[in-house]
Amino acid sequence: MSSTLPGGIHDRPVAVIGSGTLGRRIALMFATRGGEVRIYDTSLAAGKEAVTYVEQNIDRVAATVEGGRPGRAIVTDDLSHALSGAWLAVEAVPERLDLKKQIFRRLDELAEPDAILASNSSSYASRQFIDHVRRPERVLNMHFYMPPVQNAVDLMSDGRTDPDVISFLRKELPGYGVHPFVALQESTGFIFNRVWAAIKREALRVVAEGVSTPQDVDAMWKINMGTPAGPFRMMDQVGLDVVLDIENHYAEENPGLPEGPRVLLEKYVAAGRLGAKTGQGFYDDYRENTGRQAGS
């Protein structure tokens, strides 16, 4: 299998599809080489918030990247414009398989012939949404965690991805301050997230069974592991609706997983307590610290 790899990438934009918690952080990292990142969102208001996030953080983050310099982010609700000239498109929309299939059909139709089409999906293998993609050799998972603090990235083939595309990304991504690791075979949850899923699921189970509270679990975690945040604070940052979507997907693949963690998450999501993005989740201290949390 062979395909033309994208050329002149430092003079070409990157498109990020979705302006949510991770979309804006992905955009921030690709703006660290002085180029343009185009954030596509059907909600221009949400997209403008993402641009503001990039503008507030780009000077600091670009200074941590070797050879980095601040670029810029723009928002558009025109997918054709977002993709025009882009060497890379990163999908960062909610974890709904039907939505991802629609997005990748359009990316395949509208992107440049040499563009790499990547999904930030944390629970779906890219193999599952290439039904209507004509160039599956250019598609793969590129899963980010929580940049600019957690900068590891999983790369995983859709089963037909050109190996040269993966090699190309392994070479180029560190230049944007992110560090790729390749899953050697298809794996729901990739590498680190498989381990993390088990940790957060058991933490949720401990609380669902009334053994402890989110705050005490986190306090013990911080003492024993020496980290600034525990599992519940980290789930709040990701968004409890996203965490629930991921848990539901794992449960579809493995019906034997305990139900308690999902029931607990459903309670919070039904109450509109989605975490930092709504001001309340397992913690209630986000409203007075919105700016600090967003840039943490």
| Cβ contact 18:41 at 8 Å | yes
Render pLDDT for 198-210 as a digit per residue (tens, 0 to 9): 999 999 999 999 9
pLDDT digits (tens, 9 = 90+) for 112-146: 999 999 999 987 899 999 999 999 999 999 999 99
For residue 148, whether the previous peptide bond is cis, meaning omega lies within 30 degrees of 0, is yes
pLDDT for 289 beyond 90: no
Rounded-to-10 torsion of CA 92, 9, 190, 295:
-50
The rounded percent of the chain whose pLDDT value lies above 70 is 96
CA distances from 183 to 32, 104, 142, 219 (A): 26, 21, 10, 32
Arithmetic mean of pLDDT, 64-73: 96
Cβ(52)–Cβ(22) under 8 Å? no
Predicted confidence band of residue 3 (pLDDT cuts 50, 70, 90): low
Residue 93 has pLDDT above 90, yes or no: yes
SS (H, E, C) 137-186: HHEEEEEEEECCCEEEEEEEECCCCCHHHHHHHHHHHHHHCCEEEECCCC
More confident residue, 96 or 217: 217
193-294: which CATH topology? N-(1-d-carboxylethyl)-l-norvaline Dehydrogenase; domain 2 (1.10.1040)
Least confidently predicted of 78-87, 187-196, 248-257, 283-292: 283-292
pLDDT given for residue 4 in this prediction: 81
CATH class entry, domain 9-182: alpha beta
Tokens of 221: 């975690």
Cα four-point dihedral sign 119, 278, 221, 228: positive
Among 195, 193, 287, 286, which Cα is nearest to 236's?
286
Opening angle at CA 114, ends 70 and 180, nearest 5: 55
**Residue 236 identity:** D
Sorted by where each begins, the domain ranges of the chain are 9-182, 193-294
pLDDT digits 0-9 by tens, 242-274: 899 889 988 998 999 999 999 999 999 999 999
- Say if 9-182 and 193-294 have the same CATH topology: no
Residue 36, H or E segment = strand 36-40
